[in-house]
Structure 1
């Protein structure tokens, strides 16, 4: 099949609608798209002109770095690298999301040895499967500030992007935010396509429809499903209900998806916006939403509030007290007082100009596991500064 056919799918445009715009029959367009049948130069020009006049297709092409001449290539041709071919693979169906369950992949967690567990009398481990209910969540002052920004965006139909390194606590904050919003009756729209680079304008609208109602299924064309989503959002807003769109791994989104988010954000009922948007991503999200680096999506960037998760900072002791307290242990029986400064020193990172702390929860967890394992191997009764600095 032609690349053009896949572009139509990604843009949410029906083949028969596109054929009509080009002055062709449905059968004739099907032959062109499926088999690259000989096409008269005049017909090809009409199709090219219609593609250029269709913003949804052009957005998808820009997001995938596809040139105009490439729409006439067969999708199976060697012209397409593995990267482009994976992006053009038909997106999986969107299913209603549960933002309390889906977890992005993190770096591998380290495990306590049996020797360490025996030495410190740990029947349970403090760092694995550690968030099962709201009271298990620990939020530092920085995390609490970020949480309030996310809650405000959801409650007041704002647009915020939160970024931080792996293990910085993004998913933990998301769980706290979702728990709070759901307790207030705010509906969460949560796209669950695993590969966020395959989110399209159409799939975003699908997610809104599927998470707002179980009584309707998304229409076929992008125009029809957009009207359907707008109607559902307007009806909810008129009844006083609120909703928020939350997307994790947002650094993987295409430019076309970002532009669609801007359009979704600007949906209104009178003076009232209809949905808040919260993006969560790795540190790359900061660069993606930098107007100097990506001026082509400046109309999106200028509407987004940015927030960076800086880590636990001075709350490391409270964090560890919380973690060990969950399993009935006191951290003072495991860490000496001088260990905390050593932990802080180990978390300092220099880029040659600035020194910053990366005291992220996952990094603290892994450091503690390594230190407790080392203390057990050395026969040390507690984790001390010397144990930590010699890891």
Structure 2
């Protein structure tokens, strides 16, 4: 995906008042309540990415509401803080929807009105905490984004008919599966298209994501960062789309982790980068570009490995997961992971262009025949939800013994 094309696409979206919404003024910190928007996959398999939603309701048919307070009076960047548990809200959605198939992928958001954004619920911690990890906070790019860029672009990017509810995949991403595995709530600061530094003035880079998290936490009751498991992965956009140097991205990595540790973080999972040159998008690139990207990724991974070791020696609990090794194993032994196809996109896309995220795409005949869960890649760049699930399972194995769950 060329930067000039990406710039044009984002400029077109911004020209249409990306952040303009007719919503009531919200009073930050003031006790109030909000409704719950319950999203679900309408199809019965991961082959159908489109979703629908309903308002959560009580058993008597009245609208279910959650008490709490808003972080901000600005709608596009907001969060609803509450003492109500995440599982309680989720169960209310399950009861409302009455859907039981495994691919429903039910998720939920705070929302005051029909045309408002999807906002995350943050469940405040109790004053008497056990010292165990009680939540996951993720930073990164489209591999971890669960709807932030989708919100910013008024639910049009990526196209909700072909990408699952703001995910750059056909279902949940790895952090969501990891949270499910550990029975923990997930809070996402990752943004699709993000790099180490902020791009275009609004695609928050890693350091700005960390600073945003710190700002939000000033409103969270009883929050203790030592009980949070942080996940961080980024760098692919830097090397593929923004032509940044390894030294620049390495500095961003160290700055982000140092900031987290200075502000009380102790438990972090760091992912090395997979060799992105195996993705279908590089069919439409030059061999020289693929080689350059691959070389930068390897150099950056070496730096990340060294830094993770340094932080551990300083007493921080940092788990390094080798994504490159896992993805290499997927491509060399695909049958081991249930893959029929590791080279092509499941969606019928035959180029590498950010414009395609605005469009709806059918499946290729082969993917429609074998099913998306047999494909490694959903589009030309991003993995299927099946691939994400595998990644999460392997990460869970890595972190289970290293962190206090």
TM-score, normalised to structure 2, is 0.30
More strand per residue: 2
Structure index of larger Rg: 1
More helix per residue: 1
Question: Which structure has the higher relative contact order (CA within 8 Å, separation 6+)?
Answer: 1
